[in-house]
Amino acid sequence: MEEVTRLTVSSLLLAGLYAVMAYGLGLIYGVLRVVNLAHAGMIMGGAYLTWVLHGRLGIDPYLSIPVVMGAFFVFGVVLYKGLVRFLPRGAAGGGQSLLLLFGVWLLMRNAAYLLFSGNDQAVRTGYSTQGLRLLGVSVSVNRVAVFVIALIALGALHFFLTRTYLGKAIRAVAQNPDSCLLVGIDVERVYALTFGIGSALGGLAGLLLSTIFAFNPSSGAVELLKSFVVVVLGGLGSVVGIALGALVLAFAESFSILVLPSFLTAAVGFVLLVIVLVLRPGGLFGQRVLG
């Protein structure tokens, strides 16, 4: 029973991180209809930027959030303006942008490899090893902090998308870009902004990840897959859908430890994906994202 409580708490905390990861991917896909494979590179890059800021300048990982998010926002906007803008979007150009962003990911991986070598790195702070009691089980401070920050980020994003002019413009463009042009929304600017926000979320996910797990230049592939699983599970409709998808994935992964050898947990996400696609191709909550 104590094992179950422990797994419940840890999957709940993990779900926050998954939701942030997935929202970056889902937002870009929902608005631009482009699957950002470079998202994996953003996550990896965010982790390394955090590591550099902490190791070289001594900035606490959680204090460097604005820097990391800002840097990846700019990177995303530049990526959009410099490359993605020139490709057809939507069903016709899906393959092209996919391969292009895949190329960008390879470049990012190679850059990280040249800069930091291929060794595993981790961000270690004074409180990395400290724990606290939660529901009768002890969890590390970092995991709780990551969860809280993820909740704040998702809340802020929800507020931004539903209450501000720009956020509403992004949602309008997602629904119908042509009509947006007619009513005077600068669609190109909204696209650039969306790509920036999605990238910033990728960077934030990398930052949060780096405080808990070790990483290396090829990190990000697994996280990309998990983000994708969450998007398929939860749909693109809302923050709530994404959060539920993240919960399902985190619980499935954590509880699989009870029945599966530990090296197979990474495969759980994929198996879950296939099961959902076979049984409910429209996603768990009916928000159709496929086809």
Partner 1 sequence: MRRLASWLPEWASPWAAAGFVVVLVALYALPLVVVLDPYTHGILTQTFMFVAAALAWNWLGGYVGQISFGHAAMFGVGGFVTARLLLSTDLPFFAAWVVGGLVAGVYGLLWGHPTLRLRGPYFAIATIGVGEATRLVATFWSSFTGGSSGISLPIPSGDFKQALYWYALYFMAAVVLLSYYLRKSRIGLGLLAIKGDVDAAGDVGVSATFYQDVVLVLSGIVVGISGGFYASFFSFIEPSDMFGFERSISLVLMGVIGGIGTILGAALGAVVYVILQENLIASYPDLYLGLYGLLLVAVILFEPLGLSGLLMRGARLVGYRPGAGVAAGGIGGAAATEATGGAPEEEPTLEEARP
Q: What is the DSSP letter of 258?
A: T
Q: Which two tokens stand for residue 11?
A: 């999957």
What angle do the packed helices 165-175 and 187-212 form, to 10 degrees? 100
Nearer to partner 1, 43 or 229 (CB): 229
Minimum distance, C-beta of residue 189 to partner 1, in the bound complex (Å): 13
User: How many angstroms separate the CA atoms of 206 and 106, rounded?
Assistant: 17
Are the beta carbons of 247 and 287 closer than 8 angstroms? no
Shortest CB 133 distance to partner 1, Å: 34
| Residue 103 CB, nearest approach to partner 1 (Å) | 3
Q: Contact positions toward partner 1, by CB under 8 A?
A: 29, 32-33, 35, 37, 83, 85-96, 98-100, 102-111, 113-114, 176-178, 181, 187, 218, 221-222, 224-225, 228-229, 232, 261, 263-264, 266-267, 269-271, 273-274, 277-278, 281, 290-291
Min dist. Cβ of residue 171 to partner 1 (A): 14
Of residues 97 and 211, the one with the C-beta less far from partner 1: 97
Helix (H) or strand (E) holding 282: none
- Cα distances (Å, whole numbers) of residue 268 to 179, 191, 226: 42, 34, 10
Residue 195 DSSP class: H
Minimum distance, C-beta of residue 195 to partner 1, in the bound complex (Å) = 14
Nearer to partner 1, 105 or 147 (CB): 105
Helix (H/G/I), strand (E/B), else coil: 139: strand
Nearer to partner 1, 208 or 273 (CB): 273
For residues 283 and 128, what is the distance between their CA atoms, to the nearest angstrom? Answer: 37
Q: Based on CB atoms, which residue is closest to partner 1, 55 or 90?
A: 90
* Minimum distance of partner 1 from residue 78's CB (angstroms): 14
Half-sphere exposure (Cβ direction) of 275: Cα atoms closer than 13 Å? 11
Judge residue 110's burial from the number of C-beta atoms within 10 Å of its C-beta, 0-12 exposed, 13-18 middle, 19 or more buried. exposed
> CB-wise, 107 or 135, nearer to partner 1?
107
Q: Decide whether 114 or 152 has the Cβ nearer to partner 1.
A: 114
CB of 155 to partner 1, least distance (A): 27
Q: Are 174 and 12 spatial neighbours (Cβ–Cβ below 8 Å)?
A: no
Distance of closest approach, residue 115 Cβ to partner 1, in angstroms: 11
Q: Which is nearer to partner 1, 9 or 224 (CB)?
A: 224
- Picking from 195, 190, 166, 151, the residue whose alpha carbon sits closest to that of residue 38 is 195
CA angle, 119 then 79 then 94, to 5°: 100
